[in-house]
């Protein structure tokens, strides 16, 4: 995840028409990620819970593909589809029905048929939906998404109704007991598809789509066929969503109407928002984060899952409009500022965001610890006055300790970084990694762990940025006072 | 032949009106709020659901009488609506419409799970009030008397009441002016904030009333909010968002289509309305009675 994010940054600037695909750094990022992730099952096979992790990663990659496809509409086209799960369902049912009813049907042909089915459905539905924008588009996609669900639910003779299609035949190699084969299969398909989507959003077509999002009327004036571009975007999103649906179907060897239910559309919407809609890889981060939270929460509290989704959505809308990746990448770039002021602003922003991450990590961990073990608020019975054995501490004392020690260290580190002490840069990196290890040691809930991981990514991203590196090497002496004075002028 | 007309067509016609009255009660509030505040309130379905559940609570546990519940439930929903408007919607009136849409959508999720936590996930039911359990014979056909004497008049009175309120009272005129130009009426000295809260409260009341009136006719379950909001959306898109007359027309078309659709093709009754909506969208994108829109909004 980290690899592809970092390389996306370099790629966005360096990309140009004349460069061949082979010189595209993002492609290399994808290849490295592919190679590293491809051998994950072999690495973790001896771990406890290896099956769980492999299945989890399989699902996470499928959902990442779905979320990135959805974000092509939402982030790049400005079209919020509330019924994207329809194409997930159509893809799943297309492949499922073909495999189930046509005995001679080849597995791969069925898999290819899924995105084709998704694209055709998107063509038909999109023909009506793209006639209206904004609110109407949202309503229409919701309504058409619901009718797909109703058809799957009610048409017993064909789709099996709410019993779904079960026992869909799949090749033998998928059924291996470690789930590793299917994981690799999904990984390759998803990474290739996400790379294709990356090419699409950076192609002239993608740029045109962004232009339409920004100002439809102007785009129309310069001669762009707005409706046609929107329809194409809708079809591309539908095709890749259909592919994701087929992959989910194969994973479960069955398909139910729930695949097309509106709750799935909500989840993919939230994944994009959580990760950041105006970033390409944001939805991937969002998918991983949301699925980890899903695994954390539904384990013990399935009934509050929607409440949690809604609460998170409100929180994102009010506090984090750019999503997490948007938050990491956000820069205040005012060209009129001179070097020193820009550095000072950068550092001030860095320390502010570090605080958010820190508090977020502590808060998240506390919240989930309480959910998972509501009884151990205070100090557990087998504590035995062992100061260093933090695991035996209860939620509250542990969190208070984390907070007090963490605040003290953070405060000291961030004070230093404002006056550009190179030592502090390294200490801060070490601190973020250290807290990651602490959370691993404490067996923090997955979501808290992922948040701390994002904090590490953020620290590395910021402190190895060209600007910041330069600031430290020059040792520019800027204090907060200068910034305040500059702003007052 | 006469039998066919009285027994089948007439019955379906009246049944269609029942459906129309029910859906209009809910849809009118949504349309009114959209017309004035410019916010498409996803959580309107939740108001409907809460209206129904408050009736259940009131009838089942507190007093046991239906008629006070029919008024108290929507009033309880109004409190909920006002809190929602003040806390969540006020800060975002100036933001992107999609942002507002997402926020109300988030509230749907929250409201939905709260109902599950408070009332449990099972289906509940409210019994019909005394004297309205049986059927009534009109022109030789039998109709449930609750629908005939409560639902249909409630729908009709809402149409009439909203018409009189918007066209014959001063507040109604201000509300209509707000749909035309919000800044202007603000400049003329109208307290726009209060007006918005008031209109939102009326919208919540109508949603809650719809839920309350419809409660004895079907099961109450978490998720009914989402089922109804899609139907309501169909109706208002068909009639034209923000147009009260359009909403009434859309509701009647929806009801009749559903009622006669069941007669002809029972499995696909819900598909007809989608086909009609698709046709309307191609021929008349702003809805049947909607105003011509500019700039694609």
- Show which of A328, A348, A374 is a domain's final residue: A328
Is there a single domain that holds both residue A354 and residue A234? no
- Would residue A5 count as lying in a domain? no
- Residues A260/A85, Cβ–Cβ less than 8 Å: yes
Is there a single domain that holds both residue A318 and residue A357? no
pLDDT per residue as tens digits for the range A50-76: 788 888 889 999 999 999 999 999 888
Is there a single domain that holds both residue A293 and residue A390? no
Candidates A273, A306, A317; nearest CB to B112: A306
Q: Does the pLDDT of residue B203 top 90, yes or no?
A: yes
pLDDT of residue B297: 39
Secondary structure class of A127 (helix, strand, coil)? helix
Is there a single domain that holds both residue A320 and residue A298? yes
- Show which of A311, A328, A345 is a domain's final residue: A328
pTM greater than 0.80:
yes
Rg (CA), chain A: 24
Nearest-neighbour CA in chain B from A137: distance (Å): 10
Q: Does the pLDDT of residue B118 top 50, yes or no?
A: yes
The domain spanning residue A157 has which CATH number? 1.10.3470
Is there a single domain that holds both residue A128 and residue A44? yes
B110–A147 CB contact, under 8 Å: no
Mean pLDDT along residues A107-125: 91
- Would residue A415 count as lying in a domain? yes
pLDDT per residue as tens digits for the range B46-102: 999 999 988 888 776 666 677 888 888 899 999 999 999 999 888 888 887 778 888
What percent of chain A stands above pLDDT 90?
17
B101–A135 CB contact, under 8 Å: yes
pLDDT of residue A15: 44
Compute the half-sphere exposure of residue B258: CA atoms within 13 Å on the CB side of its CA. Answer: 21
Is there a single domain that holds both residue A313 and residue A435? no
Residue range(s) defining the domain that contains residue A479: 336-488
- Would residue A21 count as lying in a domain? no
Name the closest residue on chain B to residue A316, using Cα atoms.
B103
Q: Does the pLDDT of residue A195 top 80, yes or no?
A: yes
pLDDT category at A380 given cuts 50, 70, 90 is low
pLDDT of residue B295: 39
Residues of chain A in contact with residue B242, where contact means CB-CB under 8 angstroms, are none
Is there a single domain that holds both residue A346 and residue A311? no
Kindly compute the dihedral angle of the four CA atoms of residues B238, B284, A86, B44, in this order, to the nearest 10 degrees. Answer: -30
Mean pLDDT along residues B247-253: 91
Is there a single domain that holds both residue A257 and residue A391? no
Q: Does the pLDDT of residue B145 top 60, yes or no?
A: yes
Mean pLDDT along residues A419-440: 80
Count up the domains in chain A and report the number: 2
Name the closest residue on chain A to residue B271, using Cα atoms.
A147
Q: How far is CA A344 from CA A19, A422, A470, A478, B98, in A?
A: 36, 15, 13, 6, 35
Is there a single domain that holds both residue A248 and residue A361? no
pLDDT of residue A485: 52
Q: How far is CA A435 from CA A240, A281, A285, A408, A450, in A?
A: 38, 25, 20, 14, 12
- Would residue A459 count as lying in a domain? yes
Is there a single domain that holds both residue A305 and residue A365? no
A307–B110 CB contact, under 8 Å: yes
The structure tokens listed for A474 are 């020059």
Which one has a higher pLDDT value, A274 or A321? A274
pLDDT of residue A483: 52
- Would residue A16 count as lying in a domain? no
B297–A317 CB contact, under 8 Å: no
- Would residue A74 count as lying in a domain? yes
- Which of A188-197, A215-224, A418-427, B155-164 is the least confident region? A418-427
What is the DSSP secondary structure assignment for residue B293, as one 8-state letter?
P
Query: Do you know the residue count of chain B?
Result: 297
Secondary structure class of A255 (helix, strand, coil)? strand
B112–A262 CB contact, under 8 Å: no
Q: A143 — contact with chain B (CB < 8 Å)?
A: yes
Q: Does the pLDDT of residue A16 top 70, yes or no?
A: no
pLDDT category at B142 given cuts 50, 70, 90 is confident
- Beta-bridge mates of residue B143: B136
Q: A339 — contact with chain B (CB < 8 Å)?
A: no
Compute the half-sphere exposure of residue A154: CA atoms within 13 Å on the CB side of its CA. Answer: 12
pLDDT of residue A4: 42
Mean pLDDT along residues A455-467: 80
Enumerate residues 6+ apart whose C-beta is below 8 A from A79: A73, A130, A133, A137, A230, A233, A234
Is there a single domain that holds both residue A313 and residue A423? no
What percent of chain A stands above pLDDT 70?
84
Which one has a higher pLDDT value, A267 or A131? A267
- Residues B18/B152, Cβ–Cβ less than 8 Å: yes
Name the closest residue on chain B to residue A126, using Cα atoms.
B278
Mean pLDDT along residues A251-267: 86
pLDDT category at A381 given cuts 50, 70, 90 is low
Which one has a higher pLDDT value, B131 or B36? B36
Q: A43 — contact with chain B (CB < 8 Å)?
A: no
- Show which of A293, A328, A363 is a domain's final residue: A328
- Would residue A62 count as lying in a domain? yes
| Whole-number Å distance between alpha carbons of B275 and A166 | 31
Q: Is the ipTM of this complex over 0.95?
A: no
Mean pLDDT along residues B196-206: 92
- Would residue A277 count as lying in a domain? yes
Mean pLDDT along residues A265-283: 88
Is there a single domain that holds both residue A310 and residue A345? no
A143–B98 CB contact, under 8 Å: no
pLDDT category at B2 given cuts 50, 70, 90 is low
Residues of chain A in contact with residue B116, where contact means CB-CB under 8 angstroms, are 303
pLDDT of residue B207: 93
B181 — phi, psi (to 5°)?
-150, 105
| Whole-number Å distance between alpha carbons of B27 and B227 | 13
């Amino acid at each position: 995840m980290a690899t592809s994010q970092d390389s996306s940054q370099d790629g966005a600037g360096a990309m140009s028409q004349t460069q061949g695909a082979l010189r595209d750094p993002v492609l290399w990022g994808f290849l490295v990620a592919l190679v590293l992730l491809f051998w994950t099952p072999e690495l973790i096979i001896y771990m406890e819970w290896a099956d769980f992790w492999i299945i989890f990663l399989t699902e996470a990659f499928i959902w990442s593909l779905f979320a990135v496809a959805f974000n092509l509409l939402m982030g790049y086209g400005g079209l919020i589809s509330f019924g994207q799960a329809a194409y997930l369902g159509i893809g799943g049912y297309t492949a499922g029905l073909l495999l189930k009813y046509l005995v001679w049907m080849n597995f791969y042909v069925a898999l290819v048929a899924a995105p084709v089915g998704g694209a055709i459905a998107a063509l038909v539905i999109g023909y009506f939906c793209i006639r209206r924008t904004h609110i109407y588009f949202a309503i229409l996609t919701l309504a058409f998404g619901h009718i797909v669900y109703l058809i799957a639910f009610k048409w017993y003779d064909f789709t099996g109704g709410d019993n779904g299609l079960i026992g869909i035949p799949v090749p033998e190699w998928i059924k291996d007991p470690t789930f590793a084969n299917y994981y690799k299969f999904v990984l390759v398909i998803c990474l290739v598809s996400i790379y294709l989507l990356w090419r699409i959003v950076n192609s002239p077509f993608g740029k045109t789509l962004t232009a339409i999002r920004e100002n439809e009327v102007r785009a129309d004036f310069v001669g762009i066929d707005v409706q046609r571009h929107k329809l194409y975007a809708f079809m591309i999103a539908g095709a890749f969503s259909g592919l994701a649906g087929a992959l989910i179907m194969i994973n479960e060897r069955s398909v139910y109407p729930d695949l097309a239910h509106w709750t799935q559309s909500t989840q993919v919407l939230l994944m994009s928002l959580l990760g950041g809609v105006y970033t390409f890889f944001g939805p991937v981060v969002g998918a991983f984060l949301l699925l980890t939270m899903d695994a954390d929460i539904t384990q013990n509290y399935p009934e509050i899952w929607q409440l949690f989704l809604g609460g998170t959505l409100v929180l994102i809308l009010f506090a984090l409009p750019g999503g997490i990746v948007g938050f990491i990448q956000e820069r205040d770039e005012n060209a009129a500022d001179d070097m020193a002021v820009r550095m000072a602003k950068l550092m001030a922003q860095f320390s502010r965001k570090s605080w958010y991450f820190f508090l977020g990590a502590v808060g998240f961990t506390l919240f989930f610890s309480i959910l998972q073990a509501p009884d151990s608020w205070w100090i557990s019975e087998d504590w035995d006055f062992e100061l260093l054995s933090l695991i035996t501490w209860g939620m509250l004392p542990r969190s208070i300790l984390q907070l007090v020690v963490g605040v003290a260290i953070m405060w000291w580190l961030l004070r230093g970084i404002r006056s550009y002490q190179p030592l502090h840069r390294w200490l801060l990196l070490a601190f973020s990694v250290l807290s990651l290890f602490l959370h691993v040691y404490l067996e923090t809930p997955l979501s808290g762990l992922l948040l701390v991981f994002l904090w590490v990514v953020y620290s590395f991203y910021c402190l190895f940025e060209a600007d910041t590196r330069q600031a430290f090497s020059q040792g520019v002496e800027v204090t907060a006072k200068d910034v305040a004075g500059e702003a007052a002028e | 032949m006469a039998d066919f007309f009285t027994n089948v067509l007439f019955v379906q016609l009246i049944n269609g009106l029942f459906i129309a009255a029910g859906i209009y009660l809910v849809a009118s509030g949504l349309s009114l709020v959209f017309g004035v505040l410019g916010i498409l309130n996803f959580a309107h379905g939740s108001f409907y659901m809460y209206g129904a559940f408050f009736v259940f609570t009131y009838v089942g546990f507190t007093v046991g009488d239906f008629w006070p519940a029919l008024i108290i439930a929507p009033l309880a929903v109004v409190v909920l609506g006002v809190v929602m408007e003040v806390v969540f919607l006020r800060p975002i009136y100036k933001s992107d419409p999609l942002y507002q849409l997402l926020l109300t959508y988030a509230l749907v999720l929250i409201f939905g799970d709260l109902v599950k936590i408070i009332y449990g996930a099972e289906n509940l039911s409210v019994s019909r009030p005394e004297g309205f359990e049986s059927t009534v014979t009109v022109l030789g056909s039998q109709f449930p008397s609750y629908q005939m004497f409560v639902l249909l008049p409630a729908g009709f009175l809402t149409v009439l009441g909203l018409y009189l309120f918007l066209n014959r009272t001063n507040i109604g005129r201000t509300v209509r002016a707000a749909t035309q130009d919000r800044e202007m009426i603000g400049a003329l000295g109208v307290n726009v904030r209060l007006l918005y809260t008031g209109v939102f409260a009326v919208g919540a009341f109508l949603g809650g009333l719809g839920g309350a009136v419809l409660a004895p006719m079907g099961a109450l379950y978490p998720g009914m909010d989402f089922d109804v909001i899609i139907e309501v959306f169909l109706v208002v898109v068909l009639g034209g968002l923000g147009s009260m007359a359009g909403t009434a027309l859309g509701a009647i078309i929806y009801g009749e289509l559903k009622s006669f659709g069941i007669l002809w093709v029972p499995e696909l009754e819900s598909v007809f309305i989608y086909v009609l909506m698709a046709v309307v969208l191609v021929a008349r994108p702003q809805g049947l009675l909607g105003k011509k829109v500019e700039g694609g909004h």
